Amino acid sequence: MSLFKAAIAAGIALATFTGTALAQGKPAELKIGITTFLSGPASVFGVPAKAAAEMIAEDLNKKGGIGGVPVKLSFIDEGAGGEALVSNYRRVVQDEKVDATFASISSGSCNQLVPVAEDLKVMNFMWDCGAASILETKKYRYNFRTQANGTPEMLAVLLYLLKTKPAFKTIAVVNQDYAWGRESWEIFSTALKAMKPDVQVVAELFPKFGAPDYSTEVSRLLALRPDVVLTTSWGGDLDTLVRQAGQRGLLQQSTFVLGIGESSIQRLGKDLPEGLIVGARGDHWFLHPEKKNDPAFKAFAEAFKAKSGAWPIYPVYHMAQAFTALQTAYDKAIKANGGSWPTREQVVDATAGIEFATGFGRPITLRPEDNQGLEAQLVGVTKSFPGYDFKLLDNMMIFDPKVITNPPNMRSVEWLKTLKPEFVKMDVPTFKQQ
């Protein structure tokens, strides 16, 4: 009997040892769980991003994967929201045992999933959500943001406005009534107050998210005649607002600033007039002035257009950033591990502070102090060009992220309050669309 027990103990020990040894070897595949909107209004971002993820993964695997290991994707629909999203995320991490996650588009989703990722000790890249506060209130080990947050995104748009239309005296805002609409206005208005305190805010309108009709808001703005109208709305809401405003002459009456309008330009087609200021949530533009002649950049844009029917928009580039960040982190960790496959903890260690470049924009750094991505910001003005049935961006400025991102360990709003009117005078390169 004692011989039998000893045999069992030896078997268990051998199995444990073998298992450990296998865990440190190269896995058969690198599993990535991705949350993205596949349903609901935000699927205008989520579905192109999913298409991009599939395209990038396919291309990556053709080249041998990451560190010689092919990647395998699992998608979770953010549209389910709430507890369903958290449950699905836990399932993918614990049952499917993914090696890393990319979560999420919505800041609400990020707020929910970031603590879960930390709890489950799985590396998570916030690949698209913009709420600055997430990484400002707590230092995380497993969570990184592979792009900018709302602060530099809004500040770049405001700086462009102040540089190109310095004489405006009144402004109104029409934002969606939810976290992003409110937070982006807080960032913009705080910075505006600091850098141009004489501007009067004549209307703050926050129509319902998904509102089908802006007639009353348009009437009110037509009556108020503000010099500038800001909106950080997106998707169908932005399209509806721009079209309803255009039909009634509001776009011609006031200077419109579309904080994250890059993603709507192609859809709006000829309904989008010239002269609107448009932000891109990063230096994302399918005709990026510094990259558009690069063969890899062109090939990616054309392949994406062939697959989806439209030129890439910013969530596509954000998805590419998450993949490149993961690849960079693994390459660094493998190198640090003497060429052996790294443990998850070694990959997390390697991720802090990396600089990576997708080739689709300027390089991005993951700031080690707070894991916040430093990403350049491109802003331009709409203009017609032959050969396109929608407006292109002209007079583009690309802002340096190190200058327009709040320093680590300082809340965005507090930092924005310290800005002075002289801040506007910074040198920023301007690019013509050619």
Interface contacts to other proteins, rule CB under 8 A: 39-41, 43-44, 46-47, 177, 203-208, 210, 212-213, 215-217, 219-220, 222-223, 235-237, 239-240, 243-244, 247-249, 267, 271, 310
Give the DSSP per-residue string, 119-174: HHT-EEEE-S---THHHHS---SSEEESS--HHHHHHHHHHHHHHH-TT--EEEEE
Q: At what angle do helices 107-120 and 179-195 cross, to 10 degrees?
A: 100
Tell me which residue of 18, 14, 56, 12 sits closest to 34, measured CA to CA: 56
Q: Which is nearer to other proteins, 163 or 267 (CB)?
A: 267
* Nearer residue to other proteins within complex by CB, 150 or 207: 207
* C-alpha–C-alpha distance, residues 265 and 258, integer Å: 10
The DSSP letter of residue 406 is P
- Evaluate the CA torsion angle 321, 324, 329, 332 in order and state its sign: negative
Instruction: Please report how close the Cβ of residue 161 comes to other proteins at its closest, in angstroms.
Output: 23
Question: What's the CA gap between 343 and 334, in Å, rounded?
Answer: 9
Q: By C-beta, is 182 or 344 nearer to other proteins? A: 182
Closest approach of other proteins to the CB of residue 212, in Å: 4
CB of 179 to other proteins, least distance (A): 14
Contact 221, 231 (CB under 8 A): no
DSSP 44-93: HHHHHHHHHHHHHHHHHHHTT-BTTB-EEEEEEEGGG-HHHHHHHHHHHH
Indicate the residue among 269 and 368 with the shorter CB distance to other proteins.
269
- The smaller minimum CB distance to other proteins, of residues 271 and 290, is found at 271
Least distance in angstroms from the C-beta of 213 to other proteins: 6
Looking at beta carbons only, is 203 or 303 nearer to other proteins? 203
Q: Could you tell me if 185 and 175 are in contact, meaning their C-beta atoms sit under 8 angstroms apart?
A: yes
Among residues 431, 414, 415, which one has the least CA distance to residue 423?
415
Q: Tell me how far, at minimum, the Cβ of 216 lies from other proteins, in Å.
A: 4
Closest contact distance (angstroms) between CB of 209 and other proteins is 9
CB of 108 to other proteins, least distance (A): 15
In the complex, minimum distance from the CB of residue 235 to other proteins, in angstroms, rounded to a whole number: 6
For the chain, give the longest Cα–Cα distance. Answer: 94
- In sequence order, what are the beta bridge partners of 317? none
CB nearer other proteins, residue 82 or residue 359: 82
Nearer to other proteins by Cβ, of 45 and 323: the residue is 45
